[in-house]
């Protein structure tokens, strides 16, 4: 049994999710138990700096280095706090904080643009030094170097934790960005049939809209209650669904670079002619998240799943969950809590598993998901000096 800490802050930049996990086994035959999970919010000024960089604000190299260090220290403190008085973990898997993600370009003659580019701040070497625990970080770059999207990386872990011998399942994460893992029944050649990609906006537009509509006094719509009091404009949703990303075939990935502040402003401008109030706008943006997820299922999956399991912050949005259930009709929409894995900390658990795999020299990506040319080891191992 190996005790591992998984750390991640997603595109919503809410804070650092930390999971202390006991792991044993090899390959996809793992036993994983969550010992403790907690979310540690960023300090307000640090969160504002991160969001500014994510929105494209220019900073100097000195400021970039300082931001990288500040995020790493925040991650290291989260790792220390999650252990509390327990026996120290022997390994940390840290995703870091994504501040830029550019998927690979597959067309055109400019080969310098063929590979994708991704940047996660909060370098593992600082975390390892601060905590005295071996830290695996920078997981995405190896997949990108192999021609992949570098995202999503969680589907192989979902395969180990959630696959079922008879059921086809979708694990739907709803963070700032939504992403899915399609798991066929766990039978012969099942790994070759696993699929996964980013479906589009999750909470990103909703959180930005709440911040905009409340002049910064609120950051999210708790339980989706504000949106639930409005009426979605379906004509507007249909217009937004014409966005090119929704029609790109997988593998594909996206982020705030597309579904961020500028996109929200376009949505608000589009909504002006419909004279929507604030609740109607939130209901319509929520409908876009739900409809884009279902559009991805119906358009790109080899078959509809028999069950859908939600995780991430969006799993708490009861209005969004209800809209997904309505659109998916007879397909049950559940959460990963109902199969034994915390919906809040499932992504952090995944990076603990990816670090565990890296220590065992077990490849952590799936080419059928990311489009990489081959399976590769993910993550750089940082030892305390």
328-360: pLDDT as tens digits: 999 999 999 999 999 999 999 999 999 999 999
Give me the mean pLDDT over the 81-94 stretch: 92
Angle at 263 between CA 251 and CA 16, to 5 degrees: 70
Q: Residue 75 burial (CB < 10 Å; 0-12/13-18/19+)? A: buried
Tens of pLDDT, residue by residue over 279-337, are 999 999 999 999 999 999 999 999 999 999 999 999 999 999 999 999 999 999 999 99
Asked if residues 129 and 350 have their Cβ atoms less than 8 Å apart, the reply is: no
DSSP helix/strand/coil, 140: coil
- Residue pointed to by tokens 């943006």: 285
User: What is d(CA 264, CA 81) in angstroms, rounded to the nearest whole number?
Assistant: 36
Q: Which residues does 162 contact at the CB level (< 8 Å), separation at least 6?
A: 169, 171, 181, 183, 309, 336, 339, 341
Tens of pLDDT, residue by residue over 218-252, are 999 999 999 999 999 999 999 999 999 999 999 99
Domains located in the chain, CATH noted: 2-153+345-382 (3.30.420.40), 155-331 (3.30.420.40)
The chain-wide mean pLDDT, for the chain, equals: 95
Closest-CA residue to 221 (of 175, 133, 283): 283
Q: Residue 250 burial (CB < 10 Å; 0-12/13-18/19+)? A: buried
**Residue 385 confidence (pLDDT):** 67
Q: Which residues does 323 contact at the CB level (< 8 Å), separation at least 6?
A: 286, 287, 290
Closest-CA residue to 139 (of 343, 352, 342, 368): 352
> Taking the model in full, what pTM does it have?
0.95
pLDDT at position 172 over 80: yes
Asked if residues 124 and 135 have their Cβ atoms less than 8 Å apart, the reply is: yes
pLDDT at position 86 over 90: no
pLDDT at position 106 over 70: no
**Residue 87 confidence (pLDDT):** 83
């Amino acid at each position: 049994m190996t005790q591992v800490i998984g750390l991640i802050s997603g595109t919503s930049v809410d804070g650092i999710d930390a999971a202390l996990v006991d792991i044993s086994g090899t390959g996809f035959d793992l036993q994983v138990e969550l010992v403790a999970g907690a979310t540690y919010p960023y300090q307000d000024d640090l969160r504002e700096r991160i969001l500014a960089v994510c929105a494209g604000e220019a900073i100097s190299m000195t400021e970039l280095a300082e931001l990288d260090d500040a995020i790493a220290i925040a991650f290291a403190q989260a790792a220390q706090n999650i252990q509390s008085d327990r026996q120290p973990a022997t390994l940390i898997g840290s995703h870091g904080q994504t501040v830029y993600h550019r998927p690979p370009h597959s067309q055109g003659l400019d080969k310098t643009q063929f590979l994708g580019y991704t940047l996660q701040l909060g370098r593992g070497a600082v975390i390892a030094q601060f905590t005295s625990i071996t830290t695996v970080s920078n997981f995405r770059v190896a997949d990108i170097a192999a021609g992949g999207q570098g995202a999503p990386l969680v589907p192989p872990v979902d395969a180990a934790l959630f696959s079922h011998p008879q059921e086809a399942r979708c694990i739907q994460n709803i963070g700032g960005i939504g992403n899915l893992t399609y798991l066929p029944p766990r039978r012969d050649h099942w790994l070759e049939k696993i699929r996964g990609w980013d479906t589009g906006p999750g909470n990103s537009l909703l959180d930005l809209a709440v911040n905009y509509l409340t002049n910064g006094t609120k950051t999210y719509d708790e339980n989706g209650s504000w949106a639930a009091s409005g009426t979605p404009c379906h004509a507007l949703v249909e217009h937004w669904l014409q966005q090119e990303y929704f029609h790109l075939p997988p593998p594909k990935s996206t982020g705030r670079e597309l579904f961020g502040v500028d996109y929200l402003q376009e949505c608000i401008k589009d909504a002006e002619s419909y004279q929507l109030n604030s609740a109607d706008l939130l209901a319509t943006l929520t409908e876009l998240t739900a409809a884009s997820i279902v559009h991805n299922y119906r358009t790109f999956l080899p078959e509809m799943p028999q069950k859908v399991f939600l995780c991430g912050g969006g799993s708490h949005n009861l209005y969004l969950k209800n809209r997904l259930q309505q659109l998916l009709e007879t397909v049950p929409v559940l959460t990963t809590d109902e199969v034994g894995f915390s919906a809040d900390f499932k992504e952090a658990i995944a990076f603990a598993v990816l670090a565990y795999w890296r220590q065992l020299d077990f490849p952590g990506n799936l080419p059928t998901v990311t489009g990489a040319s081959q399976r590769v080891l993910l993550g750089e191992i940082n030892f305390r000096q």
